[in-house]
Amino acid sequence: MNTKGKILIVDDAELNRSVLADILGEKYEIIEAENGLEAIVQIEKNKHELSLVLLDIMMPKVDGFEVLAIMNKNKWLEQIPVIIISSETSPTYIENAYDLGALEYISRPFEPRTVQHRVSHMIMLYSKQKHLENMVTEQMLEKEKSNQIMVDVLSHIVEFRNGESGMHVLNIRLITELLLKRLCAVTDRYRDIQTKIPMIANASALHDIGKISIDEKILNKPGRLTAEEYELVKFHSAAGANMLEKTQYYPKEELVKIARDICRWHHERYDGGGYPDGLVGDEIPIEAQVVALADVYDALTHERVYKNAYSHEQAMQMIMDGRCGAFNPLLLRCLTDIGGDLEKELKMCSLGKIPKMEAHDLAQSLLQSGNASNRTLALLEQERTKYQFFAAMSREIQFEYSFQTDMLILSEWGAARLGLPEIMIYASEKHTLQEMMEADDYGDLRDLILTASHGEPTVIKSYRLNIHGTQRWHKILARPLWPGEDTDEITGIIGKCIDVHDELTEVNSLKQVASTDELTGLYRREFARRKIKETLAGDTAVEKKFALLLFDLDLFKNANDHYGHVFGDQVLRVVAHRTQKVVRDSDVVARAGGDEFMIFLEYKTDIDSVAKRIFHSLSGAYQGFDTTISMGIALAPADASEYEKLFYCADQALYTVKQKGRNGYCFYDKTMKSPFSVLSPISADKHS
């Protein structure tokens, strides 16, 4: 087995490659590439075996700078060190090489012993680093619960990089770090924070965590906020502090305590003109003062939905003039001192430009090992996706499920709502969980989630959940989790359940009111018309037989004239009640207007007996008033297959009964061609 380290030599001059191969070939396995494009192919092919890359700058097709940029983008530099060997000695070339991630720069001509020593030293350092990284990973696996602070805090940091500018948090971190370093350089007053600068810079990433509680429409409003909206936005500083005070994620850790102070007081101003507590001068913790200044500078120099970006010079002038509030004079001096470097550093940090070695993920600086383990980065990516998803939703029953561990984690509120523990191991085997949803609904939801795509990951659908023995409608919003965009393997599910039962009940109630006749409780005519049309237009309608029965009360006017309208209304209620008793739930019964009614039903064979039974059931006396009816009947599809024509036929049959003296019924036939309509609103149906 070959135990030699593998080195890739990249140079367009074959002689140069040959010289380096002679110097290093005895101790290392050498592979070569004659240009940057070939180098990328070799790195992709051998990225797990390469110990080092020796890279020239000036090459055809793809030069050394572009190779470094691509390696940085693909995160190969985290595992493979690069030494530049070039005849270019310009400071600009050397600086760019370091900025892009090269760890050493050797100028030609060189001494062979120098190359051997630097190569050996670099490979040894990276070997030790990987060893330490593996040790950290093993310790994380063994003490996952205690080390979860790293993942939890980092996931929060990454999560809150989803504002108007994806660089805002990185910029705040960089400006905070530069200001603190300069502050410690110009005065001994804050000597005790010098060792905490990296921690404070990292904690600054949480400064706007409270905005998760602010309506997204307000945060992204392009115009000027109203007074009420501005008060809501101002609440985010106190909200963020409260979240960190009450969080289960290690509230006693110093990082969290610093983040809490920054969250609450980064909108305070030195003269007491800030919020939420109106602190003055050094009542404001120095960490919050620094982040406040960093936040204002970055907000001024970057575009927002409500304004264009100001230049560095304009932003500095506005701050110095006090147009953004009062700041510590010492910090203003520090900002002036770093002004030139600040603009340059922020440009280099921009993710839209060439990557820089220092622009590592925040996770790497917190780990203090130079590189995060692959497992940690995967966890961070899932945590980031999870919290972004939850942040877009209102707080309800939130859940996370892992296929690997078969573990379900519920939010504290959600667990209490469902009467379940917050963490459930072997969740798929829990009967209590399975009883929360109908089996068919559970299967439907599972299928929707498992078939979701990267392009459209979110599933939204309403189901009934069993809440303490009561079935309540909930809108479920869920999405699968993937370890990366290039795989379809689902590792987990996150989502939330929103109780919409009362909302749906109210909507259904309003629909019921809109569709129901207030006096009789039967359908309104228009609603019945829509239901009948839908039935006749259905796919199976051609295989079925239907009847439309129109009837009104004979001489109903006498009831109103002799007994009054209150009595007449009661007669109509009695007839409606009789009608409901002689039909099935699937039949459509409606008050067509006045004393006129309609029944639409499906029949199998003998419609005559059905019509006769209904007719006799509807007649009878009420408190001394005899109620008889006249009824006309039309059949579908025998007489007509469309609602308007069917209604016309039934109306003609009813008119025929009226002409013959009332108190009877008859079926439509083609000889009935009267131009008159019995039902008062018939024209609306015939011409709709």
pLDDT digit string, tens, across residues 1-15: 456 788 999 998 888
Taking alpha carbons only, the member of 371, 11, 365 closest to residue 203 is 365
Task: Give the residue from 106, 258, 282, 300 showing the smallest Cα distance to 190.
Answer: 282
What separation in angstroms does the CA of 212 have from each of 163, 240, 275, 342, 383?
10, 8, 18, 29, 16
Strand-strand pairing, 596-603 and 588-593:
antiparallel
Yes or no: say if 35 and 12 are a contact pair by the CB < 8 Å rule. yes
- 156 pLDDT higher than 50: no
Q: Is 122 left (phi over 0), alpha (psi -120 to 50) or beta?
A: alpha
Q: What is the pLDDT of residue 635?
A: 95
Over 60: is that where the pLDDT of 150 sits? no
User: 632 vs 682, which has greater pLDDT?
Assistant: 632
- % pLDDT > 70, the chain: 81
The pair of structure tokens assigned to 235 is: 């609440």
User: CA 294 to CA 286: how far, in whole Å?
Assistant: 12
465: Cβ–Cβ under 8 A, 6 or more apart, which residues? Answer: 418, 436, 437, 471, 472, 473, 474, 497
Amino acid (1-letter code) at residue 97: A
Q: What is the pTM assigned to this prediction?
A: 0.35
Per-residue pLDDT band at 168 (split at 50, 70, 90):
confident
Averaged over 151-175, what is the pLDDT? Answer: 55
Euclidean distance between the first and final Cα of the chain, in Å?
A: 87
pLDDT score for 142: 46
Between 3.40.190.10, 3.90.1170.40, 3.30.450.20, 3.30.70.260, what CATH number should domain 393-505 receive?
Answer: 3.30.450.20
In angstroms, rounded to a whole number, what is the distance separating the alpha carbons of residues 112 and 413?
67
Q: Are strands 470-481 and 523-524 parallel, antiparallel or unpaired?
A: unpaired
> Tell me, what DSSP letter sits at residue 427?
G
Q: Which residues pair with 620 in a beta bridge?
A: 627
Helices (H) then strands (E): counts for the chain: 26, 19
Which residue from 111, 118, 60, 112 is spatially nearest to 84, judged by alpha carbons? 118
pLDDT of residue 541: 79
* Domain definitions of the chain by residue range: 5-140, 147-367, 393-505, 516-686
682: number of CA atoms within 13 Å, CB side?
Answer: 21
Question: Highest mean pLDDT: which of 92-101, 102-111, 320-329, 618-627?
Answer: 320-329
Question: In 3-state terms, what secondary structure has residue 146?
Answer: helix
* CA-closest candidate to residue 152, choices 380, 414, 388: 380
Q: How many CB atoms lie within 10 A of CB 637?
A: 14
Distances, alpha carbon 59 to alpha carbons 14, 38, 40, 547, 633, in Å: 12, 11, 13, 87, 92
Q: How far is CA 194 from CA 180, 406, 486, 554, 617, in A?
A: 8, 45, 42, 99, 95
R_g (Cα) of the chain, nearest Å: 39
Which residue reads 């009837």 in tokens? Answer: 551
- Per DSSP, the three-state class of 546 is strand
Whether 287 has a pLDDT exceeding 90, the answer reads yes
Q: Report helix, strand or coil for 461.
A: strand
- Residues 359 and 341: their CA atoms lie apart, in Å, by 16
The CATH architecture to which 147-367 belongs is Orthogonal Bundle (1.10)
Q: Which residues contact 513 (CB under 8 A, 6 or more apart)?
A: none
| The pLDDT of residue 355 | 33
Q: Both tokens of residue 169?
A: 């948090």
Q: Reduced to 3 DSSP states, what percent helix, strand and coil does the chain have, rounded to the nearest 5?
A: 50, 15, 30
Least confident of 78-87, 182-191, 600-609, 670-679: 670-679
Instruction: Please state which CATH number belongs to domain 5-140.
Output: 3.40.50.2300
Task: Give the tokens for residue 458.
Answer: 């979110």
Q: Is the pLDDT of residue 312 over 50?
A: yes
Closest among 96, 116, 133 to 24, alpha carbons compared: 116
How does strand 104-107 pair with strand 82-86? parallel
What pLDDT is attached to residue 688?
Answer: 27
For domain 516-686, say whether CATH 3.30.70.270 is its number.
yes
Residue 323 CA to residue 661 CA, distance in Å, equals 92
- Position 3, amino acid: T
Return d(Cα 154, Cα 362) in angstroms, integer.
7
CA distance 460 to 369: 42
Mean pLDDT of 35-60: 88
Phi, psi torsion values for 350, nearest 5 degrees:
-60, 130
Would you state the structure tokens that stand for residue 640, as one six-digit string? 């007509």
Interacting residues of 391 by C-beta distance below 8 A, sequence separation 6+: 159, 162, 212
pLDDT band at 685 (very low <50, low <70, confident <90, very high): very low
Q: Which helix (H) or strand (E) holds 407?
A: strand 407-410
Of 67-81, 322-336, 383-397, the poorest mean pLDDT is in 383-397
